[in-house]
Amino acid sequence: MATEDLLEALRHLPGQVRDAAVAAADVEGLPAAGDVSEVVIVGAGGGGVAGDVVESVAHLQGSVPVLATGGISPAWLSESSLVVAVSQSGDDQPTVAAARVAQASGARMVAVTSGGELMELCTGWGVPVTRVDPFAGPAAGLGVVIVPVLVLLERVGVLSGMNRLISDSAEQIEVRRRLLDDDPGPVQALADGVAGRMAAVCGAGGVGKHAARRWVNRLNRVGDVASMRRNLPADEAEAATWATLARGIPAGVVAVVLRHDFEPPGLAGRVDLLGSAVTALHEVRAQGEGALAQLLDLVLVGDAVAALAAQRGTATSPDSS
């Protein structure tokens, strides 16, 4: 995706996020508040990422356990369990299979999807469904499947304050779009810095971990930048493993550390250890109010870096003219 395409997608994303919240607010047939003892979120691909993100938010603000299990429904599901099946397309087979297991277990269920087999099954079972946009791109798709889950969990009493969280996130998306449009220099410098090198992306806490996963995915798939996710070194011995890695890669290793307001304490010393072990180090600080806003902000910066890296590679290709 070119940066122009990314900016155009971001122009519509705040509205898409708000529309997704409204759609989830209108769904009927949810369990009563207090009837849910635990929540299990099942989903593969983007649905799995959404589950991981919601689990992180619930860890900070939830009233009952919320567990993201990928494409698997646990054996311990009961009638007081709420299973949220998330699939933008509705045809992810691991998610469909997990939904079948959940239905057979007697657990309560709700689905977030645009259609497909999951929609067909849930309609037949009488399971509530929140419809999402099937054509939302990677950045938008992540937002429009996360937001309905947050709204649904607030409605059943598992989470609170989600309206403010979502509103703040939509506002930050717009702020980041303007920053990328008005001053692309910092993001361009980072794209130039990782070009031709190994990018090692680090992020602590739930927000940092999931943002780092997204960065690695987009750098590898879109930016054509070799990248991996690694933990920050905890001590000098672990820093030495980073140095060994850097020595083994002729072009060098560039560490990208994703920082945010919800990371565990004591990271400054670990970042210093890392800086002494790699070829170069870049810190990216999230902006916005709330965990979701900061996560999406980091995601959008990573998408922009990947887009600029891809453009840089095309511009320097021997076949370009």
Other C-beta atoms within 10 Å of 251: how many?
12
Question: What is the percent of the chain with per-residue pLDDT over 70, rounded to a whole number?
Answer: 93
pLDDT of residue 65: 95
Same domain, 104 and 160: yes
Same domain, 7 and 145: yes
pLDDT of residue 1: 52
Instruction: Quote the pTM value.
Output: 0.85
Same domain, 111 and 231: no
pLDDT of residue 318: 35
pLDDT of residue 315: 43
How many angstroms separate the CA atoms of 71 and 91, rounded? 12
**CATH code at 206?**
3.40.50.10490
The per-residue pLDDT for range 18-43, each reduced to its tens digit, is 888 888 999 999 998 789 999 999 99
Same domain, 159 and 68: yes
Same domain, 213 and 136: no
pLDDT of residue 49: 84
Same domain, 282 and 199: yes
Which residues does the chain have with pLDDT short of 70? 1-3, 6-7, 137-141, 313-321
pLDDT of residue 140: 59
Residue 43 identity: G
Query: In total, how many domains does the chain have?
Result: 2
Are 270 and 233 in contact, with CB atoms under 8 Å apart? yes
Are 150 and 57 in contact, with CB atoms under 8 Å apart? yes
If you average pLDDT over every residue of the chain, what do you get? 89
**Domain of 208?**
184-315
Are 283 and 314 in contact, with CB atoms under 8 Å apart? no
pLDDT of residue 6: 67
Dig out the tokens for 293 from the structure: 């806003």
**Is residue 179 in some structural domain?**
no
**Is residue 247 in some structural domain?**
yes
Same domain, 66 and 85: yes
The per-residue pLDDT for range 211-222, each reduced to its tens digit, is 999 899 899 988
Residue after which a domain boundary falls, among 173, 193, 214: 173
Same domain, 80 and 129: yes
Question: What is the percent of the chain with per-residue pLDDT over 90, rounded to a whole number?
Answer: 60
How many angstroms separate the CA atoms of 111 and 149, rounded? 9
